[in-house]
């Protein structure tokens, strides 16, 4: 394990924002993680697990030890009928994991293909796409408490999953390092294609009964068209959550804006399309300095040059204010914000 001091982080966040960390370590094993936590306690530095930096905004330099994980481990833990339990190290690239599971005949994750980041970040954000959220597959989350180095294992219920939410984003934010996750997958193909954009892609391909491989390929195709590659256009994916509002408020908005997409949820609330709200306020493709809303997707903020985290957050704040003013709807940013 090698600790690096005053580590530049531009290459370690997908928005390519300039910032540095007091210290940085890439942990290759659980022992490395424990040693890094011990070192940070001695140095009096907080610890920030970073992953691939695909869901963070660095507003300034970090007075912390930034901890990344690189272990690539996937292990079959148990088989029960047509169900398998698989344990994956937190450092495993998520998209690579989806492809590996598909190749091994472990199905379920196909709708979540091409989501950036590592496996350990998936339960934190409760990542979701095309009608599927990762909580459906999580059996357990394993990790270490930063403060005392004690290990933990949480069941699905203990993760308190919600829409793009979990206990790791709230009560345990920045308090734990996730080291591995257990996933429950199926050896029997069971595809989910109810999401309109996915069904349209399958129809365009002439596929009536989709296999898991068909769903995987279609999701990759749709995401590749809709979302820019962070390697060529620095971004953090969808920057705002789709807001959820009460039924009465939704009815009022629908009367005033008949074209507003509405998605009724089981609990009587209604999910709105944040991209539609933002586009109606004139932000799609709009550039201010080096920050812009992407030309093709009104949810993706892009760093067109050398923008700072402060500039990006100021732009995002203006987007939030304009949507609130026109629709009376509060947008919430998805990425976590760190730094001065």
The span from the CA of 93 to the CA of 114, in Å, is 10
User: Which residues are part of the catalytic machinery?
Assistant: 164, 238, 334
Strands 62-69 and 47-49: parallel
The span from the CA of 320 to the CA of 229, in Å, is 24
Cβ atoms 59, 313 nearer than 8 A: yes
CA angle 59, 60, 61 (to 5 degrees): 145
Neighbour order of strands in the sheet with 287-288: 287-288, 291-293, 301-303
| Residues with Cβ within 8 Å of residue 113, at least 6 apart in sequence | 95, 98, 99, 216, 219, 220, 223
The span from the CA of 151 to the CA of 313, in Å, is 35
DSSP string, 198-265: HHHHHHHTT-SS--HHHHHHHHHHHHHHHS--TTTS-B-S--BPPPEE-HHHHHHHHHH-TT--EEE-
The span from the CA of 53 to the CA of 18, in Å, is 13
Cross-strand pairs, 79: 84
CA 94, 143, 1, 336 dihedral sign is positive
3-state class percentages of the chain: helix first, strand second, coil last, to nearest 5: 30, 30, 40
CA angle 111, 114, 119 (to 5 degrees): 90
| Residues with Cβ within 8 Å of residue 169, at least 6 apart in sequence | 124, 125, 336
């Amino acid at each position: 394990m090698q600790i690096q001091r005053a580590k530049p982080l531009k290459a370690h966040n997908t928005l390519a924002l300039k910032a540095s960390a007091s210290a940085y370590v890439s942990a290759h094993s659980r022992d490395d993680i424990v040693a890094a936590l011990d070192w940070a306690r001695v140095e009096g530095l907080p610890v920030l697990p970073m992953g691939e930096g695909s869901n963070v905004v660095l507003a300034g330099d970090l007075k912390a030890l930034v901890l990344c994980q690189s272990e690539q481990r996937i292990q079959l833990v148990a088989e029960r009928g047509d169900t398998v339990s698989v344990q994956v190290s937190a450092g495993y690239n998520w998209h690579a994991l989806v492809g590996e599971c598909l190749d091994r005949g472990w199905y379920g994750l196909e709708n979540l293909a091409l989501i950036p980041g590592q496996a350990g970040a998936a339960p934190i954000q409760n990542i979701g796409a095309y009608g599927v959220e990762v909580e459906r597959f999580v059996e357990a989350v394993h990790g270490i408490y930063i403060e005392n180095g004690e290990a933990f294992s949480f069941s699905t219920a203990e993760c308190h999953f919600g829409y793009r939410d979990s206990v790791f984003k709230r009560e345990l934010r920045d308090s734990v390092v996730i080291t591995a996750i257990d996933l429950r997958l199926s050896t029997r193909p069971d595809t989910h294609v109810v999401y309109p954009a996915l069904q349209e892609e399958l129809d365009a391909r002439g596929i009536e009964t989709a296999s898991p491989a068909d769903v995987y390929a279609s999701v990759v195709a749709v995401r590749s068209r809709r979302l820019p590659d962070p390697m060529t256009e620095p971004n953090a994916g969808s920057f705002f959550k789709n807001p959820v509002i009460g039924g009465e408020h939704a009815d009022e908005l629908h009367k005033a804006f008949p074209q507003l997409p509405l998605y009724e949820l089981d609990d009587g609330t209604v999910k709105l399309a944040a991209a539609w709200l933002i586009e109606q306020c004139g932000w799609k493709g709009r550039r201010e300095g080096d920050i812009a809303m992407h030309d093709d997707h009104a949810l993706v903020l892009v760093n067109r040059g050398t923008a700072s985290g402060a500039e990006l957050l100021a732009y995002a704040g203006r987007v939030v204010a304009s949507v609130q003013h026109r629709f009376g709807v509060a947008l919430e940013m998805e990425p976590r914000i760190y730094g001065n």
